[in-house]
Amino acid sequence: MFDVSFSFLLAVAATFFVAGLVKGVTGMGLPTVAMGALGALISPVAAASLLVVPSFVTNVWQLLAGSAILPLARRFWPMMLAIVAGTLFGSAWLVGGDTRLTTAALGAALVIYSGCALLAPPFRISGRQERWLAPIVGMLTGLVTGCTGVFVIPAVPYLQALGLAKDDLVQALGLSFTVSTIALAVGLGAQGTFRAETLALSGVAVVPALAGMWAGQRLRSRVSAQGFRRGFLACLFLLGMEMALRPVF
């Protein structure tokens, strides 16, 4: 799937440290950064395979950070079920599709996410709208996850629009990310893309990811989270543009 050299291992470690740093400061962004950076070095399916273990570990950590797991699971189970279905369906495209197109799709997902996060005005979703929107948002999130390995669109803006308390929002994001990670792993496994070397390297990547999260949590109290977030999103936008336009040039 890829050649394991010292320079490649260094790039993977640096990528997951930075991705963990972003997650430590902002509470999200590890898979987005990892897929964006690794997607410039290896195929999206290889990058998604490396993402699974560190993403799962950090998201479970985030999920267990509060006491509202069961209420959130009861509230969002239709969305989570739809995420699983969409991811399993979309993963076939990530594995079997043209890598140029999947790379472009990943770039487009990064552009849409960062652009909306930077420019879109905040909005609110009512309880009545939530009942019919949840499965649709879940299915779309699953399809994007399956096709690109990035599971923030449209789940993150949707959850942010529900007006959840801060701790509940962090835990709801952890629930969505954890379900997406498990579904992506199952989808990739069903397509036969997991290998021993991939799982081993993915496991090793947990160390720099956790180190980055620890550093990010310490950094959070020293820098403006809003300013850091804007800089991160701007860089993500430029990276996404490069990936989206790569097949054209």
Summarize pLDDT for 70-112 with one digit per residue, the tens: 999 999 999 999 999 999 988 887 777 666 777 787 778 878 8
Average pLDDT taken over every residue of the chain: 83
Q: Residue 165: phi, psi to the nearest 5?
A: -60, 155
Residue bearing the bigger pLDDT, 245 or 82: 82
Asked if residues 105 and 147 have their Cβ atoms less than 8 Å apart, the reply is yes
Asked if residues 54 and 202 have their Cβ atoms less than 8 Å apart, the reply is yes
**The pLDDT of residue 161:** 86
**The pLDDT of residue 205:** 92
Question: And the tokens for 102?
Answer: 């999947």
Q: Which residues contact 39 (CB under 8 A, 6 or more apart)?
A: 47, 103, 106, 107, 243
Judged against a pLDDT cut of 80, whether residue 122 lies above it is answered with no
**The pLDDT of residue 136:** 96
Judged against a pLDDT cut of 70, whether residue 114 lies above it is answered with yes
How distant, in Å, are the alpha carbons of 67, 88, 233 from that of 112?
A: 32, 22, 11
- Whole-number Å distance between alpha carbons of 60 and 223: 26
- Whole-number Å distance between alpha carbons of 25 and 108: 24
Alpha helices in 64-191 (DSSP H): 69-96, 99-119, 127-148, 155-160, 166-190
- Span 174-184, mean pLDDT? 92
- Rounded to two decimals, what is the model's pTM? 0.82
- Span 135-142, mean pLDDT? 94
State pLDDT tens for residues 192-205. 776 666 778 888 89
- Span 147-154, mean pLDDT? 82
How distant, in Å, are the alpha carbons of 22, 61, 86 from that of 230?
A: 12, 25, 30
| Confidence band of 138 (pLDDT split at 50, 70, 90) | very high
| Confidence band of 10 (pLDDT split at 50, 70, 90) | very high
Chain-centre distance of CA 55, in angstroms? 8
- Span 54-62, mean pLDDT? 87
**The pLDDT of residue 123:** 75
Judged against a pLDDT cut of 80, whether residue 117 lies above it is answered with no
**The pLDDT of residue 2:** 57
